[in-house]
Amino acid sequence: MEQELMRIGVSLPESLLNRFDGIIEKRGYSSRSEGIRDAIRNYIIHYEWMSDVKGDRIGIISMVYSHHQRGLVDSLTNIQHEFVGTIQSTLHIHLDKDNCLEIVTLRGEGQVVREAAEKMMALKGVKHVKLTTTSVGTEL
């Protein structure tokens, strides 16, 4: 059944929109709306996948952030201490004058791994973050 389409208004930085438009043109989308619908579907699928992470899991979080963002480095440190039993190691790389890459490896109950990742993802000033998980191998 064809669903009724809802119209929404979205405010976003021009540079972000230009990059998005560049990608949807390259990928051959018929319209910006179709590209946005696809991006929202992927966002939902990713969130639902994250909600389903269960059991003994290895998690790898990679995040890029500006270390100038007020309070971000402190908040990140606090979260890492809060999950000290789950976090196995962190690797910090200074990418340039402004940006840092942090790679965090975790092991624990999937829901705890996800909770730690979500807390880090929600920090203001984080530009990009990705969580991947894998099994510890015992059930394979």
Can you give the binding site for Ni ion, defined by CB under 5 A?
94, 100
Residue 99 Cβ, how far from Ni ion at the closest point, in Å? 8
Distance CA 67, CA 76 (A): 11
What sign does the CA torsion over 96, 97, 101, 102 have?
positive
Phi, psi of 134, deg, nearest 5 = -145, 165
Residue 98 Cβ, how far from Ni ion at the closest point, in Å? 9
Residue 17 Cβ, how far from Ni ion at the closest point, in Å? 29
Q: Give the pairing type, strands 56-66 and 87-94.
A: unpaired
Phi, psi of 137, deg, nearest 5 = 95, -15
Residue 105 Cβ, how far from Ni ion at the closest point, in Å? 18
Based on CB atoms, which residue is closest to Ni ion, 69 or 111?
A: 69
Based on CB atoms, which residue is closest to Ni ion, 99 or 111?
A: 99
Cβ-defined contacts of 86-92 (< 8 Å, 24+): 86/112, 86/113, 86/116, 87/116
Based on CB atoms, which residue is closest to Ni ion, 54 or 94?
A: 94
Based on CB atoms, which residue is closest to Ni ion, 40 or 91?
A: 91
